[in-house]
Amino acid sequence: MANTKQQYADCKRKGELGEQACYSLCRAITSQFTNIIDTRDIKKYRDADIDFVIQSPFSDLVFIEAKYAGIDGGADVFETEKNMTTGAAGWAIGSKAHYVTIYKEPMNEIHIIDMNKCRPFISSNLNNPRYKHYYKQTYSNYNNGQILYYTDNIRVPYADLKANGIIAAIFSYKKNFWEQTYIDQHR
């Protein structure tokens, strides 16, 4: 499949939907004293896979990365290699974020992933035959219609993510309101 300007635009639009949903949820569940800093255009944060920093007088800084998922099949998908040519770690292993939000557009849900639990789990299960790997083209940088590189991703069922405390919470957007529909009971 050729990389096109339209595919690049579609990927960018979907990423922005995930970021908008993340910001909306952060604004809804934090106090009026909390500052949500958009770091998407700051290179040091972009390189660390951090989209937002939550700053509160009541806690330490919290780093958030926002993701988008256009389909749902009872699992979340984690990028293990950002660039298979260079072997650069994907966000599931290399992100410096405390939490990653995955906006599941078809369900209008956000899964909050606890990265302190995610990184070691994904790293230790890269060769687990239960988890399917798939490779996809990356359109994050469009370059004259060329496929720039492929990423490696691993699909992990919700049951396994919940059993290992990786999904910290799930929020559903209903009637202009974010409702918490799941919380990890081990927190």
Q: Tell me the C-alpha distance between 134 and 137, whole Å.
A: 10
Give the model's pLDDT for residue 1.
41
Give the model's pLDDT for residue 3.
54
Q: Residue type at 165?
A: G
Nearest of 123, 62, 124 to residue 91 by alpha carbon: 123
Q: Tell me the C-alpha distance between 126 and 144, whole Å.
A: 33
Give the model's pLDDT for residue 107.
92
The angle at the Cα of 91, spanning 78 to 172, to the nearest 5 degrees, equals 60
Token representation of residue 105 = 């557009």
Give the model's pLDDT for residue 167.
97
Tokens 């949500």 belong to 36
What's the N-to-C CA distance of the chain in angstroms? 44
CB 180 within 8 A of CB 158: no
Tell me phi and psi for residue 142, to 5 degrees.
Answer: -85, 130
Q: Tell me the C-alpha distance between 165 and 162, whole Å.
A: 5
Of the ranges 82-86, 96-100, 131-135, 149-153, which is most confident? Answer: 96-100
Nearest of 97, 103, 86, 99 to residue 152 by alpha carbon: 86
CB 101 within 8 A of CB 95: no
pTM of the model: 0.87
**Tens of pLDDT along 7-56?**
767 777 888 999 999 999 999 988 777 899 999 999 999 889 999 999 98
**Tens of pLDDT along 69-120?**
887 788 999 999 887 777 789 999 999 999 999 999 989 999 999 999 999 9
Which residues are 52's β-sheet partners?
38, 64
